Chain A
Amino acid sequence: MKPTDINAPDYLHKVVDCQWACPAHTNVPEYIRQIAAGDFAGAYMTNWRSNVFPGILGRVCDRPCEPACRRGRVDKEPVAICRLKRVAADFKDDIHDQLPQPPTQKNGKRIACVGAGPASLTVARDLAVLGYQITVFDGGKSAGGMMRSQIPKFRLPDSVIDEECGYIAGLDVELRQDQWIGSLREVLADSWDAVFVGTGAPRGRDTDLPGRKEAAAHIHVGIDWLSSVAFGHITKIARRVIVLGGGNTAMDCCRSARRLGGEEVHVVVRSGFDEMKASPWEKEDAIHEGIPIHNYLVQKAFTHDNGRLTGVMFEKVRAEYDDTGRRSLVPTGEPDVHMECDEVLLAIGQENAFPWIERDIGLDFDRHGMPVLDAQTLQSTLPRVFFGGDAALGPKNIITAVAQGHEAAISIDLFCRGVALTQRPPSTGRFISQKMGIHEWSYDNRISEEARRKVPVKKLEDTLKDIKLEFELGFDLALACAETERCLNCDVATVFKPKLCIECDACVDICPTECITFTANGEEGELRARLKVPAHNPDQALYLAEGLKTGRVMVKDENVCLHCGMCAERCPTGAWDMQKFLLNIAHAGAEAQRS
């Protein structure tokens, strides 16, 4: 196996599992340390630079970082990264003086963003600070997009959305609310230098099962219903409700229904419980609120009595897997199940819809009705039109929309400056040794063995009474500080200098997870098998260094390294050092900011 070049792009980035898994590459360990140090505003800004909506995401993020967290591989549960983000937002002071100032002298380029959701607002923020003149068009009364219209208020209060959209509006971004865009052709006629489309995936999937038309008054499309609830148009629901679907929208629907008078709310899902698309914690929250989840039932028909809905008929299925692991749902042959209800909410998927984009303006769509885009630059076939968020590559989540917003902003900036879109600014990394003295590091290398802290919640009977009452209380300071201690500081990298090594084995002997081995080199697969603890996780790299006096190599399995620095503490010659790897992810105008 070849020696590892830890300066290679992505090598150490990948070691910071949370940062690697985050689509916007938020520097998680850094902000967790800032929280531990009481620098909440600093922690907020570390987040803000990467993910733009720390307060919002600290409540409702899909948290791809947490399943990736290294702690989950050496402990029962990962660090509560998401809720620590909320801590930064909750406890910070005024941060206005830390926000970037948009230049008073604009660069003369005008950019239109369609939709005021997370993708558009990210583009607006990244470009506004570079001197672009940004105008955001949105059909809603206030900015926020789906964050405001679809996420229930008991999970995400309006005040948080107002605050974080306000920071962006404060960067000389013009927000034109209540201005529905009905034609892209008309927008383009206004000679914008570039147009960004961040209109989301606004259409909830419907069904044409028997009884759908007849009982239409009692059957609602989930996301439309949620937005009517969000804006106060709907304030109650019948006593017995069935929610169809197993995603996060279904969880929002059932929990909202519970708060609007639904006493018997049931969620019915085609798949098994574990395969449901909803995040595990959202399922837990629904179950906590007394909502049963029924699995392996496929809806067949809506039963009704002259248009008055009486229930839903389901077929029982089971999952079968073929040789390639593909699942199919096969009827079990048991009798169908009828569940009685008064209202149904459909949460069976979301679709994109672009009725406002003319098909003859040179902007191509594929056969699924999605715009044809360059996956990296997010540029459409009409060069000055860019896409991002759910509108670009299909429904995902807020943090992905933000990440795509950053990419689109880079593309738009390059496009407006006449630079090839492929010449994207590189991300850069920086190493800072953490050594302060003997056994003294500028990061806290003591490893907490505490279990993950639970976020306190309001009393169930109170929270079910008021749909606007935020359900979670968030961590208090004591809980937050205890949780920060669980972070393993994966960005503090173990850096090995073979020239200094005397091969005394001190690091091998002290490593708590036995991840260091000195041995003869070999092919990677074979080498993995004969390490002190065999390295069975192929997704995690081996750090290999050669140049030792005995001709052996040092191999470190990155998989379960605790970054405790004990190898470096034990090293008599300083061959090991703990160095913080600070990754500077490229954002629009990285070059402009340097000059």
Chain B
Amino acid sequence: MTYLAKPKLLSADAPRNALGYTRRDYEGAISTLCAGCGHDSISAAVVQACFDLDIEPHKVAKLSGIGCSSKTPDYFLGNSHGFNSVHGRMPSVLTGAALANRNLTYLGVSGDGDSASIGIGQFAHAMRRGVNMTYIVENNGVYGLTKGQFSATADKGSKSKKGVINSDSPIDLAALALQLGATYVARSFSGDKEQLIPLIKGALCHGGPAFIDVISPCVTFNNHSGSTKSYDYVREHNAAVNRVDVILPKAQIETSYPPGSLRRVVQHDGSILHLRKLGVDYDPSDRIGAINHLQERQALGEIVTGLLYVNSSVQDMHAHLNTVEKPLNQLGDAYLCPGSKALDALNALLR
């Protein structure tokens, strides 16, 4: 399917951010996904989040694996660094890139096949190593590129488009991320940008391993009445625990909410998360409570969304490994190869 490129004509009223860019400046090539794919909404949410945060596009690296989801980095941030890696291997390629240059903002985009099947080991280790990244899984519960077989996140008992019942247990990537040490864990829905955009913004500002599981309906293979990842099903069973507003350090906006309904979280970079409680009394700083809440609600057939867990005193991989601050490509030959005298001194230390 080919689509026309978006015309560049723009309304004079189109909003501009602090860098003078419009949202259009954060877009990429035209999407070739199916019309109505949830992934395109996630791309649009990434565009909006980067626009809102006044991110310079050339300071972002977007990496992905293989699959419908992993095609999407081509469709946003056309002026950023990008790497389309091997199936399921985005986390390790990203880890390498982050080790080489910590000055970029790392955005890993993956799908349920890429992260929960072939790449689940990679996913697990990126989380437990504490790579400073935003890890977005565009989760539709099916293998769209191979015509709609169940993926590892499909709910047990849900029906495929052909009518087959799924007999395998699902992997809950958000629960795994919580267990493995991610310090920012959220779940959202591609059809609810009001929730999704602030969650992406919070993740981009987080400063440690941030994971967002985004339920993203596959309109072609998984948007029917037996599906648990259709637009209708997710809207009906969405149990959001909170709403997030991200406030940048430079903006001083006073919000007025009834006392006790708002929780403030100051992140590492000074950005502030305002978490508005919705209904249940939910504590997003309690990791074990979060895991329990997810399990309980899932048993009731609900889909828990919102910012599930955030730990603002985060330490990332660079702190663990005590790496050099400068990007490796800027260190220079003299520093990287200090000569035989330095080698002798080092050897002497070990004698």
Contacts and interface: CB of A to CB of B under 8 A. Distances in A.
Interface stretch (A169-177, A345-353, A455-463, A497-505): A497-505
B44 to A, nearest CB: 4
Contacts of A564: 4, 7
A445 B11 contact: no
Nearest to B5: A446
B35 A533 contact: no
Interface stretch (B12-20, B54-62, B89-97): B12-20
A277 interface: no
Nearest to A449: B8
Contacts of A119: none
Interface in B6-41: 6-15, 23-24, 31, 34-38, 40-41
Given A566-B4, A569-B3, A570-B35, A73 B235 contact: no
A517 B274 CA distance: 25
Interface string A551-583: 000000001101010100111110000000000
Given A569-B3, A570-B36, A505 B44 contact: yes
Interface in A468-512: 502-506, 508-510, 512
Contact of A439 (B3, B11, B37): B3
A510 B29 CA distance: 11
B235 A514 contact: no
A521 interface: no
A502 B190 CA distance: 12
Contacts of B219: 502, 504, 572
Nearest to A550: B235
Interface string A132-172: 00000000000000000000000000000000000000000
B38 A439 contact: no
Given A439-B3, A505-B191, A513 B36 contact: no
Nearest to B30: A510
Given A505-B193, A549-B235, A533 B15 contact: yes
B306 interface: no
A1 interface: no
Nearest to A536: B13
A513 B38 contact: no
Given A438-B1, A504-B219, A509-B40, A572 B35 contact: yes
B43 interface: yes
Given A504-B219, A504-B231, A572-B219, A74 B36 contact: no
Contacts of A374: none
A74 B34 contact: no
Contacts, number: 102
A559 B10 CA distance: 11
Interface residues of A, number: 36
B44 A502 contact: no
Given A439-B1, A562-B7, A502 B36 contact: yes
Label chain A's interface by main secondary structure.
loop
Contacts of B242: none
Contacts of A571: 35-36
A182 interface: no
Among B36, B43, B219, which residue has the most Cβ atoms of chain A within 10 A?
Answer: B36
Nearest to A557: B11
A512 B232 CA distance: 27
A588 B290 CA distance: 75
B103 to A, nearest CB: 30
A509 B13 contact: no
Contacts of A73: 11-12
A573 B36 contact: yes
A439 to B, nearest CB: 6
B40 A506 contact: yes
B130 interface: no
Nearest to B219: A572
B2 interface: yes
Interface string B70-85: 0000000000000000
B223 interface: yes
Given A439-B3, A446-B4, A504-B191, A514 B23 contact: yes
A438 B34 CA distance: 11
B101 to A, nearest CB: 31
A265 B105 CA distance: 66
Contact of A506 (B2, B9, B36): B36
A559 B38 CA distance: 28
Contacts of B2: 439
A506 B3 contact: no
Among A73, A560, A564, A572, which residue has the most Cβ atoms of chain B within 10 A?
Answer: A572
Contact of B9 (A439, A447, A502, A503): A447
Given A505-B41, A506-B36, A445 B9 contact: no
A534 interface: yes
Contacts of B43: 509
Contacts of A572: 34-36, 219
B217 interface: yes
A445 B232 contact: no
A449 B9 contact: yes
B9 A562 contact: yes
B3 A534 contact: no
Which A-B residue pairs are the 10 nearest by beta carbons? A572-B36, A447-B7, A509-B44, A560-B11, A74-B9, A504-B36, A512-B6, A572-B35, A505-B41, A572-B219
24 contacts: A75-B9, A439-B3, A439-B4, A447-B4, A447-B9, A502-B219, A503-B191, A504-B190, A504-B219, A505-B44, A505-B191, A506-B35, A508-B44, A512-B7, A512-B24, A515-B11, A533-B13, A533-B14, A534-B13, A549-B232, A560-B11, A570-B3, A572-B34, A573-B36
Given A506-B41, A572-B219, 9 more contacts: A74-B12, A439-B4, A510-B31, A514-B23, A515-B11, A533-B11, A569-B4, A569-B35, A571-B35
